[in-house]
Each structure stands twice: as structure tokens, then as C-alpha cells.
Structure 1
Amino acid sequence: MRCAGAAAAVIALALLVAAGGIGAEARQGPEKVAIAEFVGEAPTFGEVADLVPRILAEAIREASRGRLRIVEARIVRGEMVRRRWTSSDLVSLTNAAELGRAVNADVMVTWQVSYFDSNGGNDGANSRGFNETMAAVRIRAMEVATRRRLVDAEFSGSSFRAMRYEATREALANLARKAARAIVTPGSVPAE
């Protein structure tokens, strides 16, 4: 009889936890993610600097199935400009956490392009040849409240497309999907 009563108590407790009555705040995890913008410096890789935050935001939304909300890019950019910070200032965990708090984010994502190459099959800007594009981006995601690194790794992607812009976007999307999975479930994706 005692075993049946104990089992019923365990089941009731499990149902209470599942309903959000106990430990809901610990189970929820982060809700808002901010992605650093490329601000105040001449981008080495041109359009890549503009594409990375947008593509990474799309990938995080998809990987989290809408659970994570992304802080609007204009808010992050505006706060960086207000502080007169460039992307280089976000190498500091203290500065990255400060920016995350300022934009009310639970997770702050910073990034740096470590490799980019796009070469066409034919010479000339308007050639009909295919472009092979390879990209690698170092991504760091940290909990703003604790400054604990959730992800600190390099992710790579490649593409082979007719149009350079399409190839660049696809290569970045490939690496962003891997990075997003790692951000959504830290420890699930090994560094490359």
C-alpha cells in the first residue's frame, strides 16, 4: 500500500512540474537572444558582415521552433552606436554581457568571420560560371546574467551556385544552422 501511495505522490509531483508549478523558471531557459551587429569598422568580407546576423537570426528561430525571440537588429546596432562600441569591443565578455543587459537579452551572440572565399568558374563579374563559396565564422553565445559561455566554436559552410550572392548566402546558411543548433541546445554540436 505504501508503494502505491509513494508512486501516486511521484506521479502527482511530475504532473505539477510538467504543468509549470515547480521548477518552471529553471526549465524555461533563455527567451531572448541578441546578435551583435558589425558596427564602426570597415568590413573585411563585404556583404558577409551584413548577412551573418540576419541569417543566424533566421536559423536560431528555426532551430528553437519559435521558442527564442531575437532582439531586433536595429536595437542592438543602436545600443552599440550609443556606446561608441565597434564589433571589436565585444571580444570582452564584460562588454558583451553589458550590451546584452542593455537590450534586455538572456543570451548575447558575438561572431567573427575567420575565413571566406568565393571563386567563380569564369572570370568577370557577370560570368555564367559557378561559384564555389566557403565560409567559416567563430561564434560565441553567452548567458548574459552569468557570463557563462554556451557556445564558443568555429562553424563552416560551403556552397556551389551560379550566382555569387546565392552561393554566399547558402554557405552562411549552412554554417548558421549548425551554430543555431549549438546555441539552442549547448553541448549538442561539437566544434569543427
Structure 2
Amino acid sequence: MATAKSAAKTAKKKSPVGRANTRRWITRAVVALIAGVSIGAGAGVATVSRLEPGRGTGVDSLAVMLDSIAKGRIPKSSAAERTAERQRVADSVKNAAPVEVADELIAIPSLADLEEGAARNALIDAGLQVGEVQFQLSPKAAGTVLSTIPAAGAKVAPETPVTLVLSDGRTGTDTLSRPSPTHAP
């Protein structure tokens, strides 16, 4: 009995192998953390130097940004710089050539009662795209076009997707229900 208790006490103590394993995993975690931070910082510097090529090296820009954050302020542009930027944008909008949209609009063709394949071809030939296909209860043959969204005749920009609403070929009557039996008097 004494040997069983001493064996249990020995089992409860951590073995040196367990401690070595723990140390090994902690060391690996620290190395992975340092590698991750280094790779992240390098990628950040590369990104800054690529996005801001005129501001010297990426390290300089990063140092200025980090210094500003550490001081608790982000450099702001002056009121004169903001006004000049707004005026530049307003001038570019004012001087932009007007877009002639009315000449480029396409009328959606009437596709009612066409089969799906013929309707798709007609849309593509008209310079439009086939959008989604929806099905609706209808006694017409399955795959027959019932309508389009936007509706036929509407004018849209080229390459606009048009939704086809097709018949599913069902009449809408429930085939599982039976008429109630009539009771003879």
C-alpha cells in the first residue's frame, strides 16, 4: 500500500521531460512572434514606400507616422490646403465633358412568349446581359418567357443585366387536394 501511495505522488509531480516540452513550446512561440512582427513591419515599410514614393524611404514615413501617434496627434492639413483641394475638385468637375447618355440607351426588346434560349439570344444581340432567371406559376409551356425586369420597352444602358421571368409549366391547381365528396340525401 505504501508503494502505491509513493507511486501516485511521483506521478503527480511534473517530470523533467514535461518541463522541457513546455520550455520548448514557449521558445517556439516567442520565435514565431518575433518572426511575425518582423515580417509584418517589413511588409508595412514596403507598402508605405510603394504608396508614398515621393516622401523618401518608407522607414522615414513610418517613423513620422509613429512619432505623430506617440505624441497624440495626427498632422492635419491647414484650412488653406483644404480650401485649395476643394476648389481643385470643383474645377475638375465643372470642366468635365458632359456625358451623352441618352444616345447610348437601349430599349429592352419584347421577349414575351419566346423560349428561354431565343430570349437569351435576343438580349445578347441587343447589347444587354442576361441577369437572373425567375420562375412563375403559369399554364404556358415551361421555359416560356412571361416578362422581363425591367419591362419591355424600358431604356437602359448597354450591358445592363435583364431578369427573365419564365413559366414553370404548372397551372397552379393543387393536384393533391380532392374535391369534397357530395353526400346524397
Taking structure 2 as the reference length, the TM-score comes to 0.24
The structure with the largest alpha-carbon Rg is 2
Higher strand share: 1
Taking structure 1 as the reference length, the TM-score comes to 0.23
